[in-house]
Amino acid sequence: MRKIRYILFFAITSIIGNVSYAQQDPQLTLFMFNDLFYNPAFAGVEGVTKVTLLDRHQWIGYQPTFDDGVSPTTQVLSMTAPIYRILPGTSGFGLNVVNDQLGLQNNLQINGSFSYHLGIKKTKLSLGVRFGMYSQSFGGNFRPLQPETFPGRESQVRPDMALGAFFRAEKMYAGISFNHMIKAKFDFGLDSLSNALENHAVITGGYIYKVNFDMTIRPSILVMTDFNQYTFIIGGYVEYKEKINVGLSFRQSEDINLILGYNFLKDKSLSVHYSIGYVYKDQEAKNATSHELMLGYRLPVSPGGGKKIVRTPRFRH
């Protein structure tokens, strides 16, 4: 729901077809593996340092009817890690770098997240805040609908902020975040182009059902709203021996996706996930398939941040 309206670009409206609004924030098919992207409270929740890199190509093979323009692409680099001994209990830090290309429009986000985790019996409640920058730029051949022209290749940078909460229990999790709290405005020197980032609420949830020792089913849902409209993604996957993942997801009024994944190395610390989506709605304005590839690597963090102790039988008493 990237609700950025411009009266001047056929180049951009050709990308999104005949709808009256565009997506302001990327909607990832592999959302169940990218909680930090949506919610700052997820920083450090897993208790390990984790780095992920995602590349999404929407409507593969899309060709504009004129001039510049390509199918939408998104790249996301995320890092999350726990922090010890700063506050009572545990905290977390996260970093997101998001590059989102929409035809002649490019959105770049760089932000850092901080979270604080509260242990409640056998559950964990995390509260998080995110600060960073949001850059919006345009470049290429524009075809304005009105005589006033866009001032060439332009870029503007604005501050951005988000708040979130994340609850995690043994067999379920749920989170809510509020993004673009500052409602930064972009105008590129023209009052008629003034627009603001819309506040968004993102709700996520999931359940972990262990069928037997080898097989686990993990359904999940994501709902995004700007308080005027909403969209949702329902998905889930089956995990076999903590190595093989196979699943499906359904995105409202857009596509159906097949999800495949595999965890490598002895400790399963290196993961690869891939999704291919089939667009079933408004195919006359889009191409039929979308692809998403994600690489992830995690490593354990020593609690307390101290030096690792290596015990030798020769010196033990």
End-to-end CA distance of the chain: 64
Q: For the beta carbon of residue 76, count every other beta carbon within 10 angstroms.
A: 22
Q: Give a yes or no: residue 296 inside a domain.
A: yes
Taking a C-beta distance cutoff of 8 angstroms, is the pair 15, 149 a contact? no
Q: Give the residue among 125, 204, 182, 188 at the shortest CA–CA distance from 156.
A: 188
Contacts of 284 by beta carbon, 8 Å cutoff, 6+ apart: 17
How many whole angstroms separate alpha carbon 218 and alpha carbon 174? 13
- On the 0-12 / 13-18 / 19+ scale of CB atoms within 10 A, 145 is exposed
Q: Which tokens belong to 46? A: 């897993």
Domain count, the chain: 1
Q: Give a yes or no: residue 113 inside a domain.
A: yes
Residue 60 banded pLDDT, cuts 50, 70, 90: low
pLDDT, tens digit (0-9, with 9 covering 90-100), for 23-34: 578 889 999 999
Give the pTM. Answer: 0.80
For residue 267, which amino acid is it? Answer: D
Q: Give a yes or no: residue 188 inside a domain.
A: yes
Q: What is the pLDDT of residue 150?
A: 56
Q: Give a yes or no: residue 2 inside a domain.
A: no
Q: Give a yes or no: residue 3 inside a domain.
A: no
pLDDT, tens digit (0-9, with 9 covering 90-100), for 1-24: 343 333 233 333 333 333 333 357
Alpha carbon distances (Å) from 281 to 16, 18, 19, 26: 12, 12, 12, 18
pLDDT, tens digit (0-9, with 9 covering 90-100), for 104-155: 788 999 999 999 999 888 899 999 999 999 998 876 655 555 555 555 567 8
Residue 216 belongs to domain with CATH number: 2.40.160.40
Q: What is the pLDDT of residue 147?
A: 52
Q: What is the largest CA-CA distance in the chain?
A: 87
> Domain range spanning residue 308?
10-315
Strands (DSSP E) contained in the chain are 48-57, 73-84, 90-102, 105-120, 123-138, 154-168, 172-179, 185-186, 195-196, 200-207, 209-210, 215-225, 230-240, 244-251, 255-264, 270-279, 289-300
Q: Give a yes or no: residue 4 inside a domain.
A: no
pLDDT, tens digit (0-9, with 9 covering 90-100), for 78-93: 999 998 766 656 899 9
Contacts of 86 by beta carbon, 8 Å cutoff, 6+ apart: none
Q: Give the residue among 133, 135, 137, 142 at the shortest CA–CA distance from 154.
A: 137
Q: Which residues pair with 101 in a beta bridge?
A: 73, 106
Taking a C-beta distance cutoff of 8 angstroms, is the pair 74, 101 a contact? yes
How many whole angstroms separate alpha carbon 271 and alpha carbon 269? 6
Please provide residue 90's backbone torsions phi and psi, each rounded to the nearest 5 degrees. Answer: -125, 155
